[in-house]
Amino acid sequence: MKRVIKDLLKTLVKQLTATTETSRVAPSNKAPEKLRFTNKAISKMKYWGLSEAQVWDVFSKGASIKEGIMTRTYNGYEIGIAYGRDKKTGQYVIFSAWKRQRR
């Protein structure tokens, strides 16, 4: 019984003092050097003819569709990205990118 209470108190303190990221905060104020690309994202960018600058533009100025997905509409087309945050380093990671005709 004593052990259970001790574990509960440890968990409570951990939860109360932990820092959390809000998923609603747009990553627009993050520096470009904090952005990384997976191999899949690089291959998708090559396939769609997208540059890192275009992906950065979507990341910094795009609209958040849902958690981890952003898009930006241009004249006649739309670029989208799937991103997340590395838990160890805190860097933003681009998992995938795509380009499609505007709906």
Domain covering 22-101 in this structure, CATH number: 3.30.2310
Instruction: Please give the distance of CA 45 from its chain centroid, rounded to a whole number.
Output: 16
- pLDDT digits (tens), the chain, 103 positions: 878 787 777 776 676 665 444 334 444 455 555 789 999 999 999 999 999 999 999 999 999 999 999 999 999 899 999 999 988 888 899 999 999 987 6
Decide: pTM greater than 0.75: no
**Is 42 exposed, middle or buried, given 0-12, 13-18 or 19+ CB atoms closer than 10 A?**
middle
Query: Where in 2-103 does DSSP place strands (E)?
Result: 35-37, 63-66, 69-73, 77-85, 92-101
Domain ranges within the chain, ordered by starting residue: 22-101
47: closest CA among 7, 79, 15? 79
Cβ atoms within 10 A of the Cβ of 95, count? 15
* pLDDT, position 5: 81
